[in-house]
Amino acid sequence: MKDHKKTRLVEVRTKILKENDVVARALRQRFEDEGVYVVSLVSSPGAGKTMFLEQTLMRLRDQYRVAALVGDLATENDAQRLARTEVPIRQICTGTVCHLEAEMVRSALGEWATQELDFLFLENVGNLVCPASYDLGEALRLVLCSVTEGEDKPLKYPTIFNTADIAVITKMDLADVVEFDRAVAHHSVQSVRPGMPVLEVSAKTGTGMDAWIAALSSRRGTPRACGVVKS
């Protein structure tokens, strides 16, 4: 069509996810003003996000005021599991949507008194692709991958690792059984995201959990250095 008709170019320069970015920026400002440190978790399905989060909440709840918002496609199983920690939990059922968006977080929070919290966790839908594009206003983004997924997960999903701040290798108690090569895994992370801190944990046995809680506590108050789709 354009070969036959005369056309002219009109410059537009608009971010395609500007609506999400606007909401995310407002959320980040709100969390900063309220003094709540917001941590999001992304991983593939079954990497152990919920178990990791459960153990994190258990370890933090005596010292800090903590809460979590968990995204899931259809069930409320994760929220029910996390309810055992006796900290406030809210569920976002995304239906067919494969990722959380800032607006979902905003509306799920509703009138929740987040200003009374020290930490708020956002568990994304299990997916290593789509969440990469959406800023949720979090201060810290963790990407989790389990030893059973192989050492090259970062090479397969470089973008999500690039948008995250810390990589967490989960299920370390199974490392020997699956002959997990730690050096190769660390090398994979560093090649897609140079300088990225990597933690090795087993939420089941507790290995590495103290180091994670210490890292988290020391980061609280440090503003997020690298946004996802910041302008």
Residues that bind other proteins in the complex, under the rule CB under 8 A: 1-2, 5-19, 97-99, 129-133, 155, 158-160, 162-163, 190-195, 229
* Identity of the residue, 54 or 151, whose beta carbon is nearer to other proteins in the bound complex: 151
Residue 40 to residues 56, 139, 187: CA-CA distances in angstroms?
13, 8, 24
C-alpha torsion angle, residues 69, 74, 78, 79 (rounded to 10): 50
In the bound state with other proteins, the residue whose beta carbon lies nearer, of 43 and 55, is: 43
Least separation in angstroms between CB 104 and other proteins: 12
Shortest distance (Å) from residue 216 CB to other proteins: 24
CB nearer to other proteins: pick between 194 and 221: 194
Parallel, antiparallel or unpaired: strands 37-43 and 198-200 = unpaired
- 6/111 with CB nearer other proteins: 6
- Let me know if 193 is exposed, middle or buried by CB neighbors in 10 A (0-12, 13-18, 19+): buried
Closest approach of other proteins to the CB of residue 209, in Å? 29
Q: How far is the CB of 197 from other proteins (least distance, A)?
A: 14
74, 96 in Cβ contact below 8 A?
A: no
> Which residues does 172 contact at the CB level (< 8 Å), separation at least 6?
147, 200, 201, 202, 205, 207, 208
Task: Tell me the one-letter amino acid at 57.
Answer: L
Nearer to other proteins, 68 or 145 (CB): 145
CB 49 within 8 A of CB 18: no
Check if the beta carbon of residue 100 is closer than 8 Å to that of residue 131: yes
Nearer to other proteins, 54 or 101 (CB): 101
Residue 7 CB, nearest approach to other proteins (Å)? 5
Question: What is the closest distance, in whole angstroms, from the C-beta atom of residue 58 to other proteins in the complex?
Answer: 32
Q: Sign of the C-alpha dihedral, residues 59, 60, 63, 68?
A: negative
Length of the chain: 231
